[in-house]
Structure 1
Amino acid sequence: MPTLIYNPGGPDEQVFVLGDAAVTIGRAEDQAICTPHRSLSRSQARIYSIRDHETEGATMPESAMVAQRQKLR
C-alpha cells in the first residue's frame, strides 16, 4: 500500500497509508491528513493513488510511465 511520510527522520515524523480513494491534505482539521504547518493552506492538495496493474498498455499520467513505486516531489 502506498504511504506518505511527513518530515522523514524528524522528531515529528508521521506515516500516512494511502488507500484507493483520494486523500486531502491541509491545515484544516476536516482534511484526511491534517498538518498544522503555516506553509500549507487549509486545503492544500488532493492525492490520488495511481497503479498500473501490469496491463498491455502502460499507465502514463502527464507522460511519465508508472512502472513501480515513485517518490513524489
Structure 2
Amino acid sequence: MTRDQLESNLAAIGVHTNSYSLDGIRHSDCVCVVGEDEKWKVYYVERDKPVELAVLDTTEEAYDFVYATFCKWLGVKKP
C-alpha cells in the first residue's frame, strides 16, 4: 500500500500518529519504518531501544507489514 493509504487505514482502526513513524527512528513506544541499505526495515522502539521486526524489499511491503502488525496487536481483522 502507499503511504497515504497506510496513514488512512491506521487512522480508521484508531492508531494515533504518535504510535508510528514513516520517516525514520523516533521517540519511544512507536513502530518506525527506515530505509537502510536498499531495504526497508521496520522497528519497534521501546525506551529508546529499537528492535527490528522485519526487513522488506519495498516501501509498499513495509507499509503492508506495519498495517498487519497493528491489526494483529489491536485484534482487528484486515479487510
Higher strand share: 2
Structure with the larger helix share: 2
Q: Higher relative contact order by CA 8 Å / sep ≥ 6: 1 or 2? A: 2
Larger radius of gyration: 1
Question: What TM-score results when the alignment is normalised by the length of structure 2?
Answer: 0.28
What is the TM-score normalised by the length of structure 1?
A: 0.30
